[in-house]
Chain A
Amino acid sequence: MKKIGRFGMLVLILLFIIVIAFLFAQIINFFGIGEQETIAIIPIQGMISLGGEGLLLQNQIVNSETIIEEIQKADSNKNVKGIVFDINSPGGTVVASKELADAIAKVNKPSVALIREVGASGAYWAAASTDKIVANKYSMTGSIGVLGSYLQFSGLMEKYGVTYEQIISGELKDIGNPYAELTDEERNILQRKINIIHQGFLEDIKEKRGLKSLEQIKSGEFYLGSEALELGLVDVLGGKEEAVALVKEMAGIEEEPQLVVYEERESLFDKLNRLSTLTGYSIGLGIGKKLDVEKNFNLVA
């Protein structure tokens, strides 16, 4: 075949393939594949922490940065018309909870928080940033307070004749160290910090929920769903169906939307890591129990 003929044939075939490619694209557009109205479901399951993930003593820890990434993905997707935050969390660290709450407040679409078993403290802070909150009548929520605690070993050390040597510049440098009792001054300082955070938390909730007074909620008590409804901390008693229906109504979705869960996909390595963590924990638990039994027998003997 002459070179020009071969070249001409090549160009013809390439043009044919380009036409077919555009035809495929038009078919996809015509059938509206990937254009279905969507409600994003974003799970917040476990203790909220900055950078933490996995299991801690069988309690699930969730990374607030990961959730924020999922929120941004859902918010930038033109097909996502609303978001349901599926919450089952006792709370978390202050900064992580606040960052999550701020990220939810910035969402440009209707959002509803669905509180399952627990949506308290930092998790409630995040929930309060949504447009509406749905909870089961027996869900645990509220707990609008701040907790800062640690084990203090000075008594145990004294029992065994262990002393703590303090070499510091600035007398408050090692405030809160677990090897010495808190002085009254140190205790007051820590309490002041806690109070500042608590006040900020309360003000934020008051503004977001439109509450008239903070008197009833400032104790840090947790409330059941039914109690929270009376206090104005939740809007509707119900479950997932009610939450989705609320989002549909707020977003003006008429047809049945697709529900898509936005969560970080676990890689094979992550799955194996989680399995080995669980296995190690179970082995340790078993050995610990066995040793307890041995110890008891020895005591009896």
Chain B
Amino acid sequence: MSKKEIKEAEKLIGLKEKRFIFLRRCGAFIIDYLIINIIISLAFKSVISNRADLEGLGFWAAYNSMIADPSFSSLLLAMSISSACLAILYFAIIEFKLKQTLGKIIFKINVKSDAKELSMKQSFLRNLPKALVFIDSGLVLLIDLIYMLFKKKRLFDFLARTDVE
């Protein structure tokens, strides 16, 4: 193979690796998101059962019916903010301590810092969009991911000087 062909092949492998990591990161996020939602549904079940007719409805069905009811807007806001706080605690503390959340452990990826060690501040900043999913329905995370399409790194990873590999 010529030098040019070798370079092309290496570039192609690099791209494939990046795509593979992207898929693993997505898989890891889905698992972490599910864990957080399980915690939320267990903890807030009493909140919802005190306020709505839950007979025959599961937690999420009752929650969805509350979203459609305008009298619950203050409650939903309180629950959204609580859920966002729980999410940031989950991601930030676990990644700071272990460099991996449970989802990342399963998909064998780690968070790395551009500096020597990953700090709590970095961990907090890079996970902010994931927490905001519970308040703004994912708009910030979407912007984060669109940035990743062009720069091959999440915007908040860029701001926090971290990466995942």
Contacts and interface: CB of A to CB of B under 8 A. Distances in A.
A28 B75 contact: yes
Interface residues of A, number: 32
A142 to B, nearest CB: 32
Nearest to A258: B71
B91 to A, nearest CB: 10
Contact of B70 (A28, A33, A260): A260
Interface string B91-114: 001100110001001000000000
Given A25-B46, A33-B75, A262-B70, A79 B51 contact: yes
Contacts of A40: 71
Interface of B: 35, 39-40, 42-44, 46-47, 50-53, 65, 68-72, 74-76, 78-79, 82, 85-86, 89-90, 93-94, 97-98, 102, 105
Secondary structure dominating the interface of A: helix
Nearest to A24: B82
Given A10-B98, A20-B86, A24-B82, A29 B40 contact: no
Given A16-B89, A35-B50, 4 more contacts: A25-B46, A34-B47, A78-B53, A262-B71
Interface string A28-52: 1100011100101000000000000
Nearest to B75: A34
A73 to B, nearest CB: 5
**5 closest pairs, A vs B, by CB?**
A34-B75, A21-B43, A24-B82, A260-B71, A76-B53
Interface string A3-22: 00010011001101110111
A6 B97 CA distance: 9
A202 interface: no
Secondary structure dominating the interface of B: helix
In this complex, the member of A10, A261, A262 whose beta carbon has the largest number of chain B beta carbons within 10 angstroms is A10
Interface of A: 1, 6, 9-10, 13-14, 16-18, 20-22, 24-25, 28-29, 33-35, 38, 40, 73-74, 76-80, 258, 260-262
Contact of A78 (B51, B70, B75): B51
Contacts of A25: 43-44, 46-47, 82
Contacts of B53: 76-78
Contacts of B82: 21, 24-25, 28
A143 to B, nearest CB: 32
Contacts of B50: 29, 35, 78
22 contacts: A9-B98, A10-B105, A13-B94, A14-B35, A17-B89, A18-B43, A24-B43, A25-B43, A29-B50, A33-B78, A34-B47, A34-B71, A34-B75, A76-B53, A77-B51, A77-B52, A77-B71, A77-B72, A78-B50, A260-B70, A262-B69, A262-B71
A34 B86 contact: no
B94 A34 contact: no
Contact of A10 (B70, B79, B102): B102
Contact of A28 (B42, B71, B78): B78
Contacts of B75: 28, 33-34
Contact of B89 (A20, A22, A34): A20
